[in-house]
Structure 1
Amino acid sequence: MKRKQFLLSSLLAIPAIALSKNKFQNNPDAGKEPFVVNAGQSRFGDTIKFLGVHHNDLKISSKDTNGQLSVFEYTGLAKVGPSLHMHLYQDEIFSVLEGEYRFVVGADTHYLKAGQTIFLPRNIPHTWIQLTDKGKLIYFLQPAGKMEEFFTLMNSLKERPSPEELEKFHTAHGMKLMGPSLSL
């Protein structure tokens, strides 16, 4: 348990260092109160699920950071992952807390286990798939962009969107859909 707490604390320090070196430090809203988000909960108490099953809990909102950062905790219960896509304006950082994952970033494939972190620069197509029955990721988007809104929209849908709708949703939220999800 101490290792997991150390990893999480270390990961949370990375964006804080990045934020401390930009205009955010001079923002009058920067003096907000600290907060704690408990395990298994989302920042504002809502439940967002990826593919209707897997918890994708918002831990730090773009509202907390003036759009500079969003942090999510993903708990996967099956061997799935997102479609191949590209973020036009955000870098992503994924850290594996539990399970094993295969990430495809551009032409490279990386296999990650608990304790490993991968940096995904903007404008490079990427996707991942969970390789174990259960997995957990913490991931950061910097700047935050519109990912919170994207996940809220996708979670609200009653049926699977058409390929044209999916393309439209990605575009509206600063992403480009590049291809299908990975399979085992």
Structure 2
Amino acid sequence: METIESFKVKAGASRFGKHYKMKAVTLNILDIKISSKDTANALAVFEQTGLTPNGGPPLHTHPDQDEWFYVIEGDYIFQVGKKKYHIKSGDTIFLPRNIPHAFIQLSEKGKVIVAYLPAGRMEAFFEVTDKWESTPSKEEIYRVFESHNMKIVGPPLKAGSV
């Protein structure tokens, strides 16, 4: 791997100055803290601010990536395979590749650090969702997940079912 210079990303800032807004699936703001470009695609780290109480992504898999979350603020339920975990501020959860997973944000606002190992196409995925101006069709959501090496395998978690 090519050696790069060290860098600092200030609080509230994004690595390249772009705040991605994930729209339609949930409303989240994502700031790149460590880019795939910084790590030869070995790692990508985002700070995600969740603005959708009782919202979260559909049950999905990452066939080639592990994922980990550290909760800074808020309360969540994560489903990983058949297991469910209540995760709150200060907790960490690891999601192994190929295991179906989803989460639901229980609190009004949430904030997590999420890392993808390897980085894969997650930055490109958030670039696409940032451009959505209205709620895409279910087919479009499936297509965008699949074109970024993820597969939807079930619906989002529901507040009453967790």
**Structure 2-normalised TM-score?**
0.91
Q: Following TM superposition, by how much is the alpha carbon of 1:120 offset from its aligned partner in structure 2, in angstroms?
A: 0.3
Unaligned runs of 5+ in 2: none
Which residue identity is paired with 1:47? H
Q: Which residue pairs with 2:68 in the alignment?
A: 93
Query: Percent of aligned pairs with the same residue?
Result: 49
1:75 matched to 2:49? The reply is: yes
Q: Following TM superposition, by how much is the alpha carbon of 1:50 offset from its aligned partner in structure 2, in angstroms?
A: 2.2
Question: Structure 1 CA distance, aligned partners of 2:66 and 2:115?
Answer: 8
Question: Structure 2 CA distance, aligned partners of 1:146 and 1:72?
Answer: 13
Greater strand content: 2
1:113 matched to 2:88? The reply is: yes
1:183 matched to 2:158? The reply is: yes
Q: Higher relative contact order at CA 8 Å, sep ≥6: structure 1 or structure 2?
A: 2
Question: Structure 2 CA distance, aligned partners of 1:36 and 1:101?
Answer: 29
Q: Give the SS at the match of 2:38.
A: coil
Unaligned runs of 5+ in 1: 1-26
Greater helix content: 1
Q: Which residue pairs with 2:20 in the alignment?
A: 48
Question: Structure 1 CA distance, aligned partners of 2:49 and 2:137?
Answer: 26
Question: Structure 1 CA distance, aligned partners of 2:135 and 2:108?
Answer: 24
Q: Following TM superposition, by how much is the alpha carbon of 1:183 offset from its aligned partner in structure 2, in angstroms?
A: 2.1
Q: Following TM superposition, by how much is the alpha carbon of 1:152 offset from its aligned partner in structure 2, in angstroms?
A: 0.4
Change in 2 beyond 3 A, CA 1:159/1:77: closer
Count of aligned residue pairs for this structure pair: 156
Indicate the larger mover: 127-136 or 59-68. Answer: 127-136
